[in-house]
Amino acid sequence: MIQVGVNGYGTIGKRVADAVAAQPDMALTGVAKTRPNYEAEAAVRKGYPLYAAIPERADLFHDAGIDLAGEVEDMVMTADVIVDTTPSGVGADNRELYERYDTPAILQGGEDADVADVSFNARSNYDLARDDDVDTARVVSCNTTGLSRLLTPLIESYGVEKSRVTLVRRGGDPGQTSRGPINDILPDPATIPSHHGPDVNTIIPDVDIDTLGVKVPATLMHLHSVNVTLDEAPSADEVRDLLSAESRLFLVPEETGIDGTGKLKEFAMDTGRPRGDLWENCIWEHSVSMEGRDLYLFQSIHQESDVIPENIDAIRALLDWEDRETSMATTDETLGVGLESLFDGQRKRVVPKSNGDD
């Protein structure tokens, strides 16, 4: 069993911890938290060993009646690998701690690309992280993850001449009360490209991609407007078939009446997904269109959860534990990735579109 420590138990960390606990070849060494808030209490209720991320604050946990298993250094010493899910910039500072104990580490997309030996996406470049000289991997951001998953099968099957993506980004996560905008629409940034295109190139170096970002007053998900000029000219149906064969791409059937991110989240909760998570890219099936060699589509990305399967695969890749196909299949099965299966053979029985309020 791979002993996994999770440093940081917030939006991403708590999801990674749950995912690690669900794996047949992993055990959760523990989680580290900076303060004794409701998330720390939740970790203890789940039976996760809790460590103080900042040793000087250990007394705060004791004062709050929360038992600690030790300090973060203790967790790093005993773990086979650390998944660092701390806020942007903190992971870079933590790297020295992981190197001190020769513990491989997985960092998140909020860090600069040069903080790790490789940037990682399971579908696109899994084998790079298996190299003996690689001790740290950076799981790229939610948006870069979504774009890499989409572009890789297109490149493999048709070739890509040029990609142009406008990212309509949520202002903040549901729990981020300090984020915004509240009543505004912001070019983010006003210059081109946004950071997403160059970040995709850390995964797929040769793809030609331009990205623009817009920030809106929403918390649920990101939305991508995608235009890809392919080297070949497949039909829209052929592209749909290609994308639907990818386990982490979900083609949203038109017949479901899911016409926005709000209904996507409602759908996830109704299907019993933990926290209403959507680990897959959600691509509106009827938006997939071809004009000559130009592909157009809309996809939505759940910023809180699409990187979770990638972190699990990164653990196996970094330790050279399994090959890509085996790891992704195990991760997908244990988490329940793959919404396409809900509609196999029953497309005529889904809820029809409504002409008015339900």
**203 known ligand binder:** no
Cis peptide bond N-terminal to 193, omega within 30: yes
**3 known ligand binder:** no
Cβ neighbours, 10 Å, residue 146: 32
What whole-number distance in Å separates Cα of residue 302 and Cα of residue 146? 9
**170 known ligand binder:** yes
**240 known ligand binder:** no
CA-CA-CA-CA torsion sign (89, 168, 173, 335)? negative
The answer to whether 109 touches 141, Cβ cutoff 8 Å, is yes
282 is catalytic: no
**142 known ligand binder:** yes
Of 142, 228, 283, 337, the active-site residue reads: 142
**143 known ligand binder:** yes
Cis peptide bond N-terminal to 189, omega within 30: yes
**197 known ligand binder:** yes
What whole-number distance in Å separates Cα of residue 35 and Cα of residue 59? 10
Backbone conformation region of residue 76, classed left if phi is above 0, alpha if psi is from -120 to 50, else beta: alpha
**171 known ligand binder:** no
Active site residues: 142
Which residue ranges make up the annotated binding site?
Answer: 11-12, 110, 141-143, 170, 196-197, 303
Which residue ranges make up the annotated binding site for D-glyceraldehyde 3-phosphate?
Answer: 141-143, 196-197
Which residue ranges make up the annotated binding site for NAD(+)?
Answer: 11-12, 110, 170, 303
